[in-house]
Structure 1
């Protein structure tokens, strides 16, 4: 069946709750219509610990062949030491700065220079540390025509992609965060043969920050299809259009701590809206408990229930500062549900500006104002806005256009299109 493609991603599975990982899975399934697609991944389910969860070896998921390799856990002390080095926060730096001789010592002895061993320890500790996956790429690189690597920050990409750089397509899922400016990643965007960005803002970020980036690239994103599975009724305790919804990992890294603080403040200050709930769908990784009568944690749910909840929401809320696309925001818009997003995330804010729908917030005051706006909108206003949101997705995120771009990228990497 045509060319053989390997997709390399840190986690893979129907239960995996992550945007890049879901992107990898649906892309694999779509590309399999034309190519022989295999996935190289780890046995991890959880991205905090990278503990081995799935069985080693080969399995099939939705008719895609998946090869799983074990992860090896590293000592947290090495992680802490490496983190201080790459972020230039070694303990004795504070002392040198306090007594006014830091700059002299750095000029004279290059004390902020990050050592190769520190970079290596960072990548191993960042994980998932899976040397057998990297060895497989090294030993079997010739049997694949193209490798597609997901996510700039993790070990399989940073260590594995240079082994097959001439036949690799890189999907960075990058965003403006402190990590991207550190030493381990300074050359990563010059390694692949081709980069496939998710958004214009991601492309601008990389090309402005990394002057030695690969010049061959395109912007594809993903295709968003209307969910066609069986419908499901809402739970009896949940009333349609009487709630806002967040779907994704429930953790601080996604801004959920601030979301919960803001929503509880909103309820405390606006008791007249107490019937409007905040529903959170996804695994709860928050260590701090935010309990309130208006907050409902659903945990991991089926696709049928997820879409039932999505379609009956007043609006979605995406509080994350760091998104490279936000599939769930687009899925909501495709279901005619407007989005309330964190204005400080350029990718999310661009969805709002370009679609002419939804709204954004950058403070408690603007968050509360956004909720009031959607609580007071009439059914007709919500319907009109929903139609505009759906049109935006249809015009910008179709699988037909996405796959055409990937086919062109694969043709370039394999030599069918000349440099």
Structure 2
């Protein structure tokens, strides 16, 4: 079986759930004997989309990675449209096309897809929000597998997004709530689909005490690990922990780890920002934490929960996120909150009861080891790909609808 993964950014230095998902699936599918290509861009960050990596082919952990340059884009127009859509405002289809066309665009990548489409049994696109997916799926629709990493957000309602879902032959989801949302929004019919998720290896051995000493941390730690963005509810978490420290006179420290523009207010007590952590240091952070908090309401899987549980650490999740509440309930590995008062009550329960923390953390670890060991995940992935694989003698070129999509994209970029 020969499979391509199309993702806008790729590599161990790239921070993002969808990117980590694709890298894990690609590497383990290749290790399982499949031929795997990754088609991606030369960009490293998702804000400037500057070409900083060299175009061409490299082999990374058994995967052939083909990088293509990103073409010039109007970032200001894209940002304006992005905010307008994010606020829930209705926009004309023409503006949807402009938003998608200015997100990330690589003519060389699209040309490679069309030219070499017959070499792949399946072409997997992730995530749904970017031009590499929205314009790429129609070009190889008869063998396109959409790995959407879907959230219930205004972008999911766009006509251009619906068109990509309608063009795809099959789907890979990260959790049942995500699959249910896609069915509700788009109606998948009888096309091949499956919940696959991401696999995890046993965590490395770490010294939590040494981590605390290195960073001068004492007492209870609430850890947030991930992109520090408003869309991830990081400002809300900073506010909640600050309020908790004041009202409960608690010596609890909020530790932030990861990249992103959000920072704690100057002079905020009880907040430590450690920035990006290397893998071993990240594993130590999970083990050193008293509780890991995932405040985001827009998650399609949440790697952070799984990594926290593998370290034996319980979690606090926002009740407004169907996926994280699904995992937390099914694992019985933590508690959920919908407002500050529930947050404070849940945090107090965890901080004051070590036995409960240990039990929840252990139950979470059992859940991850049962459901998300790599052999089980790879088997689920292969099952979907086998059902999706295009039959021999399929269409030799893009369909009329795909050509129309490409023309619409080109027109939007030059409008």
TM-score after normalising by structure 2: 0.87
Q: Which moved more, 1:364-373 or 1:252-261?
A: 364-373
How many Å separate the matches in 2 of 1:348 and 1:296? 25
Within 5 A, what are the aligned runs for 1:112-131?
Answer: 114-115=92-93, 117-125=94-102, 127-131=103-107
Judged with a 3 Å threshold, the aligned counterparts in structure 2 of structure 1 residues 259 and 85 are, in CA distance, closer, same or farther, namely closer
Q: Which moved more, 1:231-240 or 1:288-297?
A: 231-240
How many Å separate the matches in 1 of 2:170 and 2:223? 36
Judged with a 3 Å threshold, the aligned counterparts in structure 2 of structure 1 residues 175 and 194 are, in CA distance, closer, same or farther, namely same
Judged with a 3 Å threshold, the aligned counterparts in structure 2 of structure 1 residues 360 and 404 are, in CA distance, closer, same or farther, namely same
1:408 aligns with 2:383: yes
Shift of 1:333: 1.2
Secondary structure in 1 aligned to 2:256? strand
TM-score after normalising by structure 1: 0.86
Q: Which residue pairs with 2:291 in the alignment?
A: 315
Structure 2 runs not aligned, ≥5 long: 393-415
Shift of 1:113: 7.7
Contact 1:114 1:183 in 2 (8 A): no
Coordinate RMSD, CA, aligned? 2.4
Q: Which moved more, 1:402-411 or 1:297-306?
A: 402-411
Q: Which residue pairs with 1:144 in the alignment?
A: 120
Q: Which residue pairs with 1:54 in the alignment?
A: 53
Q: Which moved more, 1:144-153 or 1:75-84?
A: 75-84
The alignment covers a number of residue pairs equal to 389
Q: Which residue pairs with 1:254 in the alignment?
A: 232
Contact 2:222 2:255 in 1 (8 A): yes
Q: Which residue pairs with 1:67 in the alignment?
A: 66
Q: Which moved more, 1:197-206 or 1:351-360?
A: 351-360
How many Å separate the matches in 2 of 1:391 and 1:381? 15
Within 5 A, what are the aligned runs for 1:162-241?
Answer: 162-211=138-187, 215-228=191-204, 233-236=210-213, 237-239=215-217
Q: Deviations over 1:340-372 (max 9, x none)?
A: 001100111111211223111111111122221
1:297 aligns with 2:273: yes
How many Å separate the matches in 2 of 1:323 and 1:80? 22
Question: Of 337, 344, 367, which aligns to 1:368?
Answer: 344
Q: Which residue pairs with 1:330 in the alignment?
A: 306
Contact 1:170 1:196 in 2 (8 A): yes
Judged with a 3 Å threshold, the aligned counterparts in structure 2 of structure 1 residues 290 and 407 are, in CA distance, closer, same or farther, namely farther
Q: Deviations over 1:68-116 (max 9, x none)?
A: 11123422453367558868988xxxxxxxxxxxxxxxxxxxxx7834x
Q: If you compute each CA radius of gyration, which structure gives the higher value, 1 or 2?
A: 1
Q: Deviations over 1:176-226 (max 9, x none)?
A: 111101222122222222111111101111111113556321111112221
Question: Of 321, 324, 329, which aligns to 1:345?
Answer: 321
Structure 1 runs not aligned, ≥5 long: 91-111
1:79 aligns with 2:78: yes
Q: Which residue pairs with 1:264 in the alignment?
A: 242
Judged with a 3 Å threshold, the aligned counterparts in structure 2 of structure 1 residues 149 and 50 are, in CA distance, closer, same or farther, namely same
Judged with a 3 Å threshold, the aligned counterparts in structure 2 of structure 1 residues 119 and 46 are, in CA distance, closer, same or farther, namely same
Contact 2:88 2:154 in 1 (8 A): no
Contact 1:245 1:315 in 2 (8 A): yes
Shift of 1:257: 1.0
Judged with a 3 Å threshold, the aligned counterparts in structure 2 of structure 1 residues 349 and 230 are, in CA distance, closer, same or farther, namely closer
Contact 1:193 1:216 in 2 (8 A): yes
Shift of 1:59: 2.3
